[in-house]
């Protein structure tokens, strides 16, 4: 019985990993149709060379019991109420999509010497964005936007998206534009192209899309697999702008 559940757990993990990393569809058939052998082949060829075995075990456990990491973090915080333990609990809530609980613990951690901790503030910005609380995203971002780490960060990008949601277009563009960095941020750059097109700047949108398409032709096989769906969406959007 244990072997059966272990086999199912490994199969779920492989399917999750394939989805998260946008692997070719044939892997889903291999993993699903040949559960044991297919999963073993997938792990040996697609995971082991880039992932620590302990990390694989941790991710499998999280998939089977997503609340385990939260419970472990709660016990650790109960044992010792430190800044890091509270942040770990907030991160655990964030990972399972419990953004309200995550925000509560992030906010509780922002005390004393950690009042403007950049990591915690950016995590709160992400949580508020997921909760569609764009006013709070902007408020938090404006508290740390003068820090050097903020420039070209994911937090600045989310800040730009929130500004766009509230109709502050010029400010949004100023904060979204820095994400346009060659050979990186493909999904975010696609969103930026959509932003430009929506706001009457189709030429800029096309320029970004063409750059991504050009870069995709020089990707390593691994990156090409990883960004396959994004590149497909870029090409589709580019064709739409042509018509």
Return the structure tokens found at 238.
Answer: 């580019």
* Band (51; pLDDT cuts 50, 70, 90): very low
- Over residues 119-175, the pLDDT tens digits come to 999 999 999 999 999 999 999 999 999 999 999 999 999 999 999 999 999 999 999
Residues near 97 by Cβ (< 8 Å), separated by ≥ 6?
130
Please tell me the predicted confidence (pLDDT) of residue 141: 97
- Nearest-angstrom CA–CA distance, 162 and 140: 11
Give the whole-angstrom CA distance, residue 39 versus residue 11: 6
The per-type count for the chain, helices as H runs and strands as E runs, is 15, 0
Q: What's the pTM value of the predicted model, to 2 decimals? A: 0.74
**With 70 as the cut, is the pLDDT of residue 55 above it?**
no
What integer pLDDT is reported at residue 59 of this predicted model?
Answer: 60
CA 12-16-86 angle, to 5 degrees, is 100
- Does residue 183 come out as left (phi exceeding 0), alpha (psi in the -120 to 50 range) or beta? left
N residues, the chain: 243
Write out pLDDT tens, residues 80-116. 999 999 999 999 999 989 999 999 999 999 988 888 8
């Amino acid at each position: 019985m244990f072997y059966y559940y272990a086999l199912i757990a490994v199969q779920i993990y492989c399917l999750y990993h394939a989805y998260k990393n946008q692997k070719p569809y044939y892997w889903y058939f291999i993993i699903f149709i040949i559960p044991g052998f297919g999963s073993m082949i997938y792990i040996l060829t697609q995971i082991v060379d880039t992932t620590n075995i302990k990390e694989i075990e941790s991710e499998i456990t999280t998939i089977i019991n997503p609340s385990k990491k939260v419970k472990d973090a709660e016990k650790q915080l109960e044992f010792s109420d430190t800044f890091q333990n509270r942040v770990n609990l907030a991160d655990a809530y964030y990972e399972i999509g419990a953004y309200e609980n995550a925000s509560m613990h992030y906010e509780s951690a922002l005390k004393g010497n950690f009042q403007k901790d950049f990591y915690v503030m950016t995590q709160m910005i992400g949580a508020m964005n997921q909760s569609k609380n764009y006013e709070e995203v902007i408020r938090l971002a404006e508290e740390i936007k003068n820090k050097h780490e903020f420039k070209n960060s994911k937090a600045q990008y989310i800040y730009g998206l929130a500004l766009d949601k509230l109709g502050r277009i010029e400010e949004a563009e100023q904060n979204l534009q820095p994400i346009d960095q060659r050979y990186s941020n493909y999904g975010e750059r696609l969103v930026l192209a959509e932003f430009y097109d929506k706001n009457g700047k189709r030429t800029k949108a096309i320029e970004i899309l063409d750059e991504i398409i050009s870069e995709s032709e020089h990707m390593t096989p691994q990156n090409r697999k990883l960004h396959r769906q994004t590149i497909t969406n870029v090409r589709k959007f580019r064709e739409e702008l042509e018509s």
